[in-house]
Structure 1
Amino acid sequence: MLSHPERFTSREALSSANAYRSCPAALETLAKSRALPRQRTLILADGEQHQRHRKAIQNALSPARMMKEFGPTIERRVNTYIDTFVSEGRCEAVSQLAIPLPMSLVAVIFDVPDEMIGTLKGWSDSFFAALSGLVPEEVVIRAARDTLEFENFILDRVAARRGTDRTDFLARLTNGVDGAEPLNDAEIVNICSQILVGGNESTISLIGNLIYQIAATEGLESELRTDPTKIPAAVEECLRHEPPLQAMYRITLHEETIGGQVIPAGAKLMLNFGSANRDENFYRDGEDFDPDRDNTETLHLTFGRGRHACVGQTIARREAVITVTALVNRLQNIRLLPDHPPARSRIFGVRGFEKLHIAFERRHQETE
């Protein structure tokens, strides 16, 4: 299904239903947008339209370029956040590390100071809540209001960059670089909203899941410290075992037969990555977390597949590897706190933690 967008469209890939359509107050708010008519881009578009948008964002957010610029930035920020709690012997890993790290990189992408991280995270949470489906009307209305605020924020920054020779991400996206066509305001707004949510939510969950595995899996911490070359494989296994985004959606364009089941045209299908990644036909003991598993033999589906594969996956993996490396180098005996049990995210489709309290000792080498 992921490999055949001509048969399974992704035009509503992010949600089981559009919460705004059944909320007149939200629609009234969205009608005031400066970016109308709205455009589907990237994960919400297919064919030539998707290819055009993907080229624009790949050129503006090129993995090689971003890694060269982001590598030192990620390492510096990870250590800065660890500095804030390393002497305490305990922390709440989600709010003190998993959230601020990817959100600070989103702030870099949008070229805004760290003081805006809270605002950006608030917008992202609001958008994601509305995508979850079956949410109260006030959540949808708030998401619509936040959508306008975010759009105005992006459009003001785009207007200041259009036609200039600036080289930041928004300028490159707005003006088109390396053969990519310039995008209109509606396209840029939609792409930026996907970057805002996709650039932080999945990575927050990935980092939280990794910290949990280090704290809960006997011997894993010392194994990764002793042999850091195993860290990328542990990250990959965590991605397979607990995909931060458990599922996405496709709509059949024609009648299809899948697994012997006839599916009518126009049916909405939920593609469950969490289940696929543990399929016993492809992964022996797939329910188990095995840091030594070779995930190159059967590639997991956490970042999708085909034309719609996640464009930010290189950055997400890099953030995770650097974070784990810093944690095992600076802390030891990382463990869960019995009096503060982990609390899983309550957002449908998200596999991560809302709260993750850990205790640890500061490594002697770290204090020298």
Structure 2
Amino acid sequence: MSKVWNFYAGPCMLPDEVMEEAQRDFRDFQNTGMGVVEISHRSAEFSEIASKAESLLRELLHIPTNYRVLFEQGGGRGQFAAIPLNLLPENGQADYFVTGHWSNCAAKECAEKYGKAIIHECTYLNSDGQYDVDFSKMTVTPGSTYAYICINETVNGIETLENLPDTGNVPLIADMSSNIMTRPIDVSKFGAIIFGLQKNVGPSGMTITIVREDLVGHARKYCPSVLDWAVLDKYGSMFNTPCTFAWYMAYLNFKWIKSLGGVEELERRNIEKAKMLYNYIDGSDFYVSKISKNVRSRVNCVFTLKDETLNNEFIAQSKALGLVGLKGHKVLGGMRASIYNAMPIEGVKALVDFLKDFEQRYK
């Protein structure tokens, strides 16, 4: 099998070391005679996996002791419902800072089913014709229970972690599905952080919620128990049978991140990769980044060809060379290169080499 570079936005590329360890454990985990996907979530073996996974995550992100860590099913869309169900009183209101596709989806879920979502449209086209973010619009409305933000818009290629709004005593709830573990964060600035595993942590099928303990225990009566943060906390995230394989893979990834030097080392690598790719695109008159440099995502590089009639040829030729997953999201079109934690610098170099070659042949 020839090597491919996986630029899909998720499920993501995973580290070779992690995949190799998982392969060994798949048939026989720690000489139990059972594969890791077969062992009971109630067993001592899995209890150890679960405990070590949480411990490593707390260590890597420096999670304060007054925050709970919940391993959940349902994905990011499940949390679009879980957030208002756990936090928003009947007839309550919440602020949603919309910077792209996923924050818009979260706001819509709340507004259509659970309460008043006050939508703050924060993106605009600047004088250079690029998408930018107006952070002055990220203000809390009196009476709001919480404010929601998607820190990295996977579809739009917009990242806002370096310009977080000050929401005062109103908890800021953040979706960090696509940039969690890619850089250090100050967890104490958030009421809750939610993220799916499938971008930087593991396979799809599980979401992790890091939530301040005073925000647990306020769910509506009709909140499904599997989405109720208090229930999940009480049962150690095992109220029902969890997605054990995804949890196990998260544990392996956390071990791998620690072995590299933590999220600080991953940030250094991710800055290097993003700089290499964006520098080439910005220096070209063949490719265009329509995202302002102030808010460009380090891990989801969205760009277009100036001549979009070449899109299909670009995708076909890149795939033939083992560069897969470059087609942009159906909402925006164009191209998108997701260069998450497991993508080495060699993969980005291979992409830049292809960009150069394709440009020279079709310019």
TM-score higher than 0.5 here? no
Structure richer in strand, relative to its length: 2
Give the alignment's TM-score, normalised by structure 1. Answer: 0.29
Structure richer in helix, relative to its length: 1
Give the alignment's TM-score, normalised by structure 2. Answer: 0.30
